[in-house]
Structure 1
Amino acid sequence: MTSDTDLKEAAPGADAAWQDDMRAGVRHVRDLAALPLSPAERAAAQQAAAAHKVRAPKAYLDLIDWDDPNDPIRAQVIPSPDELITAEGELGDPIGDHAFSPVPRLTHRHADRVLLFPTYQCAVYCRFCFRKESLTSIGRGYTREALEPALAYIAQHSEIREVILTGGDPLSLPDNALAEIRARIEAIPHVRLLRIHTRVPVALPSRITSGLTASLQGRLMVTVVTHFNHPREITPDTETACRTMRQAGFVLLNQSVLLKGVNDKVDVLEELCRELMYRLGVKPYYLHHGDLAPGMAHRRTTIAEGQALAAELRKRVSGICNPTYVIDLPDGGGKVPLGPSHIEGRDNETWRIRGQDGKVRAYREVVA
């Protein structure tokens, strides 16, 4: 039986630098007392952290400018009393994880892919997380036995092509647990791709070791979806982590969340998307509209604001650097694009389409 509750385990001989990084950071509410916060800020943070888990490695805390109360890294991990205010319409299960969970630790919303939750623990707890209600209430780590019903379900459903490890953060698990999970999944013949959603390369880059990448290599194509939200999160250490994953043959994508006061300026998004692609070799994949997670109204932009940002970003950066602005609809409606439509109208075979320069042009379809 394996558990990652304290993130203490590692495969024999593995580099333990990441474990030291975790121990030197914030792991409990009481650790907030060591941070350079005012007494009032500390009391407020401790109150919010008592309601939702707090954890941040030292490497990520070191990115914070403590003299700036609006620092974008600080806003993502330091608890705020605003989190305790639930606005009308916010949801405990914003995207329908529980409603589409036929067996424990698995969500099956889309025909050809499933979410698999090997752990409900994270290396860093983001204050805006849409699963924070579940992560706080469930709080369970990895065991072989816990995954058996989910793995049996995948084996019984031949339409499943992708297994997405999420949680919690799967890369917070030790190498031997990851190797075990990968081997069990790749033994199911109809599964073609293993996808991993993780914040570890951002907040705990020392965890990305050759041992970790080796534990995930096998028959399956591997895609790692990172979660960078701000260009300040891109450092020499994250660059090294992403290079290690690229050299292992993994496809790297990034999902960002649009957060008020963090990355809701086009200059910030432009720098983030350029550096992800040009420096890290990570394709900006999705820019998520903020989910209806409880206590997150203070970090959520309007859809119109997001559309305006996405339209301006598209003018500034190439297609390969452009993420798709999406919303993950409640009740399992899935991700749908929110970008502006360039179609102004249609008259039979002739379409009126607005170009990026703002001019509307006629385009007549010519087909056999």
Structure 2
Amino acid sequence: MTTRRNRISTVEQLMQANLVPASSANHLEQVAAKYSVAISPAMQAAMLAEDGTSVSRQFVPTELELVHHPSELSDPIGDSSHSPVPGMTHRYPDRALLMPLLVCPVYCRFCFRREVVGQDTGLLSREALGRAFDYIRSQPGIWEVILTGGDPGILSPKRLNYILAELERIEHVQNLRIHTRVPVVAPEHVTKEFCDALVRNTPVWVVIHVNSAEELSGEAKEALAMMNRCGIPLLSQTVLLRGVNDTAEQLESLFRELVRNRVRPYYLHQLDLASGTGHFRVPIEEGQALMRQLRGNVSGLCLPQYMLDIPGGRGKVPIDVGMIERMQDAWIVESPLGGRHQYIEPSPW
């Protein structure tokens, strides 16, 4: 896994870097005890830029994380209830998630897995990976396997190559996907060996999590260019966040910059109902209004789908148009897996 050298990972280090005041130490120690802290050197540098607030807000902990809304959940998208074997989630008929580790180079303050990532490595052993591969072999309907976590991008090229090679040997798995922040938050990890591990006969799509144009440093763009030169198709996913990207101008800047770097915007996620994330929440109606402002003003190539992950593992639905309606104090959404479900949205901060 990539080095942890020079990461900020304690409240004391946050204070030494002048990222938090000493007066907040007691509250932040409570936050750090529950939700892991890590800020990579690349993101530390981005915080010093002119518009670094959009980066700082994503990674610097705040005592607001101790505020819990009754509708917030420890497992907002139902990972655990759809886990047939350790390290796997299987919600959709044709695709499954494989989580080979539970650590990241940075810890987002809004992460939907924030209660399980970072507490230990969560690194699946060779035996546990074998059981996951056996499960995938037993399910001929699984067409696609998505590596997530934690961040699979910090696996060593050797281990990443092993996992992808084993998945390639399963005949009915026809597509592979990797969800990662590494090219942006730890671009030094994108090496020739890393890229070589991703170049395979079975298509490997890399989906990069990025929320603001300020995260796309020169080094990040070089990492993306290296992946592009190797023929690795790149998509992006973004979480709609208060104070980070909740204006049409911020989203437009991000999506245009991604396309300039040959990354196709894929999903704009409505924030999941993870505990202690209320200060980030943008109401759905505001998100829909933002999408209306963008639509027609930017190339369709720059427009992701605006998505809601229905709590409890009932699947994702697009919510910028159709499949969602207001009914009294709740939203009613239609699941792609069948049925209509109530979604009660917390009041914004």
> TM exceeds 0.5?
yes
Map 1:262-301; keep pairs closer than 5 Å: 262-278=244-260, 280-301=261-282
Report the counterpart of residue 220 of structure 1 in structure 2: 202
TM-score normalised according to structure 1 size = 0.83
Q: Is the 8 A contact 1:266 1:313 kept in 2?
A: yes
Partner SS, residue 63 of structure 1: helix
Would you say 1:55 and 2:31 are equivalent positions?
no
Does the aligned pair in 2 maintain the 1:252–1:281 contact within 8 Å?
yes
TM-score where L is the length of structure 2: 0.88
Match status 1:83 vs 2:71:
no
Residue 306 (str. 1) matches residue 287 (str. 2): yes
Q: What's the RMSD between the two structures over aligned residues?
A: 1.7
Distance (Å, rounded) in 2 between the aligned partners of 1:78 and 1:139 = 21
Letter in 1 for 2:199: Q
Moved more, 253-262 or 131-140: 131-140
Write the distance in 2 (CA, Å) between the matches of 1:60 and 1:79.
14
SS of corresponding position for 1:241:
helix
CA distance in 1, matches of 2:202, 2:170: 10
| Corresponding residue SS for 1:122 | coil
Q: Letter of the 2:155 partner, please give it.
A: L
Structure 2 segments unaligned to the other structure (5+ residues): 323-349
Query: SS at the partner of 1:61?
Result: helix
- Tell me by how many angstroms 1:234 deviates: 1.3
Q: Distance in 2 between matches of 1:210 and 1:124?
A: 22
Rounded Cα–Cα distance in structure 1 between residues aligned with 2:264 and 2:254:
11
Larger Rg: 1
Residue ranges of structure 1 left out of the alignment (5+ in a row): 8-18, 342-368
**For residue 321 of structure 1, what is the aligned residue in structure 2?**
302
- The residue matched to 1:327 in structure 2 has which SS? strand
Give 1:251 deviation, angstroms: 1.1
Give the structure 2 partner of residue 130 of structure 1: 112
Q: In the superposition, relative to structure 1, how do residues 67 and 272 fare at CA in structure 2: closer, same or farther (>3 Å)?
A: closer
Alignment partner, residue 337 of structure 2: none
CA apart distance, 1:136: 4.7
Residues 181 and 193 of structure 1, relative CA distance in 2, 3 Å threshold: same
Task: Tell me if structure 2 keeps the 8 A contact 1:45–1:78.
Answer: no
Q: Is the 8 A contact 1:311 1:340 kept in 2?
A: no
**Of the candidates 123, 128, 146, which is equivalent to residue 146 of structure 1?**
128
Q: 1:67 Cα deviation (Å)?
A: 9.2
Equivalent pairs, count: 321
CA distance in 2, matches of 1:40, 1:87: 25
- 1:318 partner amino acid: S
Distance across 1 between alignment mates of 2:13 and 2:131: 37
Task: Output the amino acid matched with 2:317.
Answer: V
Q: Percent identity?
A: 43
Q: SS of 1:333's equivalent?
A: coil
**Offset of residue 174 of structure 1:** 1.0
Correspondent of 2:23 among 21, 36, 40:
40
